């Protein structure tokens, strides 16, 4: 099946076709409508960055890098909260 309309995601619940694509499109639309984004940020474990992110964003995943004393943190964060984060924790 080839859709004739733009922005159409063909799906078949019976066959399981197109469901991942539909989910990705819905996720992208919700993020855009709520002015949020998914980011992976490197933070220092000794600082206040990680606790700030837990308070102000939705932390999805934390990958600790012990040899660097840091972590890569995957978050869903609003544009305004990301601006505050960059201002509070420059560099």
The DSSP annotation for 65-80 comes to EGGGTEEEEEEEEEHH
pLDDT in tens, 14-43: 888 999 999 999 999 999 999 999 999 999
Q: What are the CA-CA distances from residue 75 to residues 51, 59, 91 (Å)?
A: 12, 4, 18
pLDDT value at residue 6: 78
The pLDDT score that the predictor gives to residue 91 is 76
DSSP letters along 14-52, please? TTTBTHHHHHHHHHHHHHHHTTEEEEEEEEETTSSHHHH
* pLDDT value of position 43: 97
Domains and CATH numbers, the chain: 1-33 (no CATH), 36-88 (3.30.70)
What sign for the dihedral angle of Cα 58, 61, 62, 65?
negative
Q: pLDDT digits over 45-68, tens only?
A: 999 999 999 999 999 999 999 999
């Amino acid at each position: 099946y080839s859709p004739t309309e733009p922005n159409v995601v063909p799906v078949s619940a019976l066959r399981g076709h197109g469901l991942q694509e539909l989910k990705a499109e819905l996720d992208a639309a919700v993020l855009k409508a709520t002015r949020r984004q998914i980011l992976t940020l490197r933070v220092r474990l000794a600082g206040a960055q990680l606790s700030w992110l837990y308070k102000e964003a939705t932390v999805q995943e934390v990958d600790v890098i012990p040899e660097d004393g840091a972590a890569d943190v995957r978050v869903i964060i609003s544009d305004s909260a990301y601006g505050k984060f960059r201002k509070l924790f420059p560099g």
